[in-house]
């Protein structure tokens, strides 16, 4: 039976929520990943070092005993974030980055920033103290088409940030377009990008053909096939600017299967298995380890993991739900088959 052993991977973009949902979903991330960047978009958002430490303690409590897992905390940039907050974060070993959500761009982003110029002094401090900036790269203008929002963000905001803060380390999170791949590739080594499994596996037909499929709805929204192909080529290229970030974003099933369904795909149950399919389909399994286990750590200047995980080519069927009745989450690929199994 075909087997693949790689250095234990990390997830450089993950939502684990808090409370009961945290307990439901965290074991799936901790089972395969040694570390994960924890997104701060709780209600209310995690904006200070003190809040991040409280949240971190709750996550640590929820790690199953036999698993070795390290949460890497982030703070949510708001119009009230100060350069002093940045300095405080830079001095705390548990906090690795700030997350910039344009106000209203996605789930729990109402507290975000509405004009990037608002936060220039804070970006200056991030550059000075060498704290990475993680960006949800979509504009939120009501008159901007949802399929164009990433490209317009790059043209109108990201180019200016990169120009004005050349030494700031930036991760353009969950890239979804050819334009994003080109931008990241063309700019200096301080700008990198994460890519999710859903954006590598699916185009917008998965969401819209044959009925609306709410479990494929996430932000940035799935795009045309040409964009998916550009992402696949970036992921398998061996270019260290592109690395794994699942954006696993659990929502209760009934809140997605709803007249106004929430954005976010839950993928932590099978993340590395989903990526393995993409790399295998594109004859690039030898490139999976760099993407999943090396480049992210290198970018964040953290040591690479030393342990390994082992994947076997043995099919299994993804359950329809994870979690208890009151807390059910529908995973990506629910009820369908996956080719790889983590031992």
Q: Which residues are tagged catalytic?
A: 247
Give Cα separations from 225 to 4, 129, 253, 260 (angstroms).
Answer: 28, 40, 27, 26
Asked if 228 interacts with ligand NCD (CB under 6 A), we say no
| CB of 101 vs ligand NCD, minimal distance in Å | 7
Reported as type and span, the H/E element at residue 288 is: helix 288-289
Contact call for residues 116 and 151 (beta carbons, < 8 A): no
Q: Is the C-alpha dihedral spanning 214, 235, 245, 268 positive or negative?
A: positive
Applying CB under 6 A, among 25, 89, 139, 219 the residue interacting with ligand NCD is: 219
The entry of ligand NCD, Zn ion, none that residue 219 binds, CB within 5 to 8 Å by partner kind: ligand NCD
Reported as type and span, the H/E element at residue 54 is: helix 49-62
Q: Contacts with Zn ion in 208-247 (CB under 5 A)? A: 247
Interface with Zn ion: number of residues (CB under 5 A): 1
| CB of 6 vs ligand NCD, minimal distance in Å | 26
Contact call for residues 222 and 198 (beta carbons, < 8 A): yes
- Closer CB to Zn ion, 125 or 197, in the complex: 197
Applying CB under 6 A, among 15, 199, 227, 228 the residue interacting with ligand NCD is: 15
Residue matched to tokens 């395969």: 32
Burial of 100 (0-12, 13-18, 19+ CB in 10 A): buried
- Closer CB to ligand NCD, 219 or 234, in the complex: 219
- Closer CB to ligand NCD, 4 or 175, in the complex: 175
Q: Is the C-alpha dihedral spanning 142, 146, 149, 151 positive or negative?
A: negative
Instruction: Give the x-and-dash track for 120-139 against ligand NCD (CB under 6 A).
Output: ----------------x---
- Closer CB to Zn ion, 40 or 340, in the complex: 40
Cα gap 241→234, rounded to integer Å: 9
| CB of 89 vs ligand NCD, minimal distance in Å | 20
Asked if 239 interacts with ligand NCD (CB under 6 A), we say no
Tokens representing residue 22 in the block: 């945290």
Asked if 138 interacts with Zn ion (CB under 5 A), we say no
Asked if 263 interacts with ligand NCD (CB under 6 A), we say yes
Contact call for residues 95 and 71 (beta carbons, < 8 A): no
182 Cβ neighbours under 8 A, 6+ residues apart? 230
Site residues for ligand NCD per CB under 6 A? 15, 41, 106-107, 136, 218-219, 247, 249, 263-264
Contacts with Zn ion by CB under 5 A lie at 247
């Amino acid at each position: 039976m075909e087997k693949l052993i790689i250095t234990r991977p990390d997830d450089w973009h993950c939502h684990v929520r808090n409370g009961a949902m945290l307990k439901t979903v965290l074991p799936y991330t901790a089972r395969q990943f040694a570390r994960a960047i924890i997104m701060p978009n709780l209600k209310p958002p995690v904006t200070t070092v003190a809040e991040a430490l409280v949240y971190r303690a709750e996550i640590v409590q929820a790690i199953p005993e036999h698993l070795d897992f390290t949460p890497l905390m982030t703070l949510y940039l708001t119009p009230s974030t100060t350069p002093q907050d940045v300095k405080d974060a830079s001095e705390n070993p548990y906090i690795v980055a700030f997350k910039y959500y344009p106000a209203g761009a996605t789930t729990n982003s109402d507290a975000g920033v509405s004009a990037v110029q608002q936060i220039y002094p804070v970006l200056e401090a991030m550059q000075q103290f060498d704290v990475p900036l993680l960006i949800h790269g979509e504009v939120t203008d009501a008159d901007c088409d949802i399929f164009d929002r990433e490209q317009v963000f790059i043209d109108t905001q990201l180019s200016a940030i990169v120009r004005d803060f050349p030494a700031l380390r930036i991760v353009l999170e969950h890239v979804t377009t050819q334009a994003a791949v080109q931008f990241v590739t063309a700019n200096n080594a301080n700008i990198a990008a994460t890519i999710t499994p859903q954006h590598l596996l699916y185009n917008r037909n998965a969401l819209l053909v044959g009925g609306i499929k709410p479990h494929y709805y996430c932000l940035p929204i799935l795009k045309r096939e040409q964009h998916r192909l550009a992402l696949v080529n970036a992921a398998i290229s061996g270019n260290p600017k592109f690395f794994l970030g699942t954006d696993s974003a659990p929502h209760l099933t009934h809140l997605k299967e709803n007249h106004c369904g929430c954005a976010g795909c839950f993928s932590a149950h099978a993340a590395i298995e989903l990526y393995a399919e993409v790399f295998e389909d594109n004859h690039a399994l030898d490139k999976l380890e760099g993407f999943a286990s090396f480049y992210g750590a290198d970018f964040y200047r953290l040591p690479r993991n030393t342990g390994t995980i082992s994947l076997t080519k043995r099919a299994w069927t993804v359950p329809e739900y994870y979690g208890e009745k009151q807390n059910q989450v529908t995973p990506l690929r629910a009820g369908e088959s996956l080719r790889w199994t983590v031992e």
